[in-house]
Structure 1
Amino acid sequence: MAEAKPVKDLIRDLQALSKEETALVLEALGQPPLSDVMEQKENSLPQPGQPAQPAQVVGAHSGFPVPRVGVFSGEEGKGEVSFQQWVFEVRGLLQGALYGDEVVLQAVRRSLRSKAADVVLRLGSGAGVDAIMEKMERIYGNVLPSEKILEEFYTARQGARESVAEWACRIEELVAQLERRDALSAGAAHGMLRTKFYSGLSRSQLRSALRHRFDGGESYAKLLVAARVAELEVSSVGSNQVGVESMLNDKLDKVLEEMSLIRKRVERLE
């Protein structure tokens, strides 16, 4: 049996074929001539002055997998995404140009569990994504008036055990709720966040560390980073102080214990 040629040798042999020889090889393999293939390719390209074909949208029967949306059941403590996170994911699919409405609808239905799934069930099989989102917002969304949310924002203050990151996330969520209702512009939101973040810090050490940055007009993003750095430094100093105090207390206990032993010995000698 003849030894098979290496692939590179086969490629070199094919490249050396003439047009007539190439046509014979293609005919023997049952393939169309190269001229037909090139003509078909040229016809598939957009002609000058013609708009390009739009990107194909993934439909319900396209064979592509349905995108995954975080599970939401409407019940707390199950380790699932929050309602706002769920809304964010669904809106991301709707705003994208890849998936059609039917695919997004399937993704939404698959993501709901328990009580949240019952909400969609009561809407009926004909309910679309918009109807489902509207219903879910009424049941699980924040129904407080914008004035109440604004009041909560202005009266907010960092908790005693709340980290800088948690404090920032809390006030950012309040501002985001106002922005989603068009009750606040992007420019106003930045200024409000910057002022509230600094003034609402509960630890005087952090405010002192950030005062020159805040007075200098640094952005909210930079203040947040600086506050986290200052928080780590303050925590580190506090830990060191606790360690030193613990060591001194241990030494003091040993000294007192030795003094007690000496006192007992003196009493025995007397």
Structure 2
Amino acid sequence: MASVKGDCVVLVKCLNPNTTVEKLQELLSQVGEVEYIEFGRDSLTGESTGNAHCAFESSSGAAKAIEELDKNILDGETIRVMEIPKSNLVFSVKLDSRPNNSDDNQPIYKSQTILQNPLKLSMFSGDPKPKGGDVTFEMWKHEIDCLATDDSCSPITLARLARRSLRGEAGQLVLNLNVDATVEEIVSKLEGFYGTVESGAVLLQQLYSARQGNEESITACSARLQLAIDEVEHRKGVSPNATDETLRVVFWKGLKNESLKQAIRHKYEIVRTFDELVRVARQAEQEHEDFQKFHSNSQRSRPNRVGVNATNLIDNKPDLIKELKEIKDKLKEMEMQAASKESINNSSRPVRPRVPRGPCYNCGQPGHIARECQAPLPPPQAFFSSTPPPLLPQPSAQPITPPQNMHVPLNRGRPLPRGGQ
């Protein structure tokens, strides 16, 4: 069984997607015998990714290819020939149908390198609430920026990856672009529809008013603030030097748990980085949750032994259960009878007629009293009449003669009291 050593394989990057195996083999054959060439293929479309793994017959041929063929031009593209790490090689055994020239006619086994395409973009459909495998526009754009810095991904390959990653409404928006549109044109087209339009100052104001939600954890809150400050910095709303201090202030003021804030106040004054402050806050939050959970378990009410024994006693005696049920039914029946009797008595009781009120001292009409009368009040009477009262007779100057029977006892004809004279 033949095998291919790791030091005999080289990695060729930045190939033109139209380059064939024959053209690449013709170039590599100038420095040594080539065993096989394996192009990297996209797992979805099967197109070439611009990379190829080439195995030489000897390690000297691979070393010579890296030294002499690196940065050569092939089909209008400057290719890169470099050494491939052994950890990236995955060998499998493949059966060849050709018979061996030996007498036993045993089949020949050949080793083949199987590669997976690492160049892949997440799907973007333009949905404001991504679900499934979709991501937001900012995340999709960030992945494109990362692949643009990869030497193994050519601009043409990146543009094709960007087109294949679009779904739904976002995919329809780029249909009017040319087939050879660059990735910059595709991103610029979608950024006008899905990119952030607020200025840096507006985003910074929104960041200052951010607060932790009622059901939001510290991890989720800090991640949301980090994404917001990144967008503010991208929009030139805050300088890179003030980003960390701004996050610390906003995060501290937005915490909803006052007891947690008091517990880490000394750490807030000491710690100078946002990441360290988040780590301290998460640790305090976890300790608080563990404390609450421990005390909630310890304060659980113990079962009442009397009630448990009584329940066991009732369960062991079915006759007692039957008697209790009969007593409850009897009490319920007596309550219903008492309620019906009371309703009958209330219905048979004669209704006392209402006595009319009045008459009124003001207007003289029955049905109301003077306090409820609507008629105007009479004018008040004067204390003295218009004519002066008659004068009393003046006493005369003649002396008054007493009556003759002045000494007649007052109790004449009546018995005297006991002991009286």
Determine if contact 2:218/2:282 at 8 Å carries over to the other structure: yes
Identity of aligned residues (%): 26
Residue 185 of structure 1 aligns with an amino acid whose one-letter code is: S
Is contact 2:163-2:171 (8 Å) kept? yes
C-alpha distance in 2, partners of 1:242/1:66?
50
Using CA pairs under 8 Å that are at least 6 residues apart, name the structure with larger relative contact order, 1 or 2. Answer: 1
1:182 corresponding residue in structure 2: 236
Q: Quote the Cα distance in structure 1 between the aligned partners of 2:62 and 2:285.
A: 66
Partner residue of 1:211?
265
TM-score by length of 1: 0.68
String of CA shifts for 1:226-269, please: whole Å, max 9, x gaps: 11111111111122233234x22x54xx37957999xxxxxxxx
Q: Shift of the alpha carbon at 1:219? A: 1.4
Preserved contact between residue 124 and residue 136 of structure 2 (Cα < 8 Å): yes
Q: Distance in 2 between matches of 1:114 and 1:97?
A: 30
Structure 2 residue 173 is matched with structure 1 residue 150:
no
Answer yes or no: is the 8 Å Cα contact 2:121–2:162 preserved in 1: yes
Change (3 A) 1:243 1:97: same
Match of 1:84 among 128, 138, 141: 138
Contact 1:66 1:103 in 2 (8 A): no
Match of 2:176 in 1: 122
The separation in 1 between residues aligned to 2:229 and 2:153, in whole angstroms, is 30
Task: Decide which of 39, 56, 76 is 2:79's aligned counterpart.
Answer: 56
- What is the CA deviation profile of residues 179-227 of structure 1, one whole-angstrom value per residue up to 9, with x for unaligned ones? 2223322211111011111221111122122211111243111111111
CA distance in 1 between partners of 2:189 and 2:200 (Å): 19
Matched, 1:165 2:188: no
SS of equivalent residue, structure 2 residue 135: coil
Larger % of strand: which? 2
Give the TM-score normalised by the residue count of structure 2: 0.45
Instruction: Point out where structure 1 has 5 or more consecutive residues left out of the alignment.
Output: 1-30, 32-36, 47-51, 262-270
> Structure 2 vs 1, CA of residues 42 and 260 (structure 1 numbering), >3 Å: closer, same or farther?
closer
Would you tell me which structure has more helix in proportion to its own residues? Answer: 1
Q: Which piece of structure 1 moves more, 227-236 or 135-144? A: 135-144
**Mapped contact 2:199–2:235 kept (Cα < 8 A):** no
Deviations 1:123-181 (A, max 9, x none): 34243211111122221122122222111100001111111111001111111101222
Matched residue SS, 2:197: coil
| 1:68 maps to 2:124 | no
Whose radius of gyration is greater, 1 or 2?
A: 2
For structure 2, list consecutive stretches of 5 or more residues without a partner in the other structure.
1-32, 34-58, 73-77, 82-114, 312-421
Q: Output the CA distance in 2 between the equivalents of 1:177 and 1:67.
A: 26
SS in 2 for 1:98: coil
**Which deviates more from structure 2 when the two are superposed, residues 63-72 or residues 200-209?**
63-72
1:113 partner amino acid: R
RMSD (Å), alpha carbons: 3.5
1:17-71 CA-to-partner distances (Å, cap 9, x unmatched) read xxxxxxxxxxxxxx8xxxxx9899779847xxxxx8498369xxxx994711011
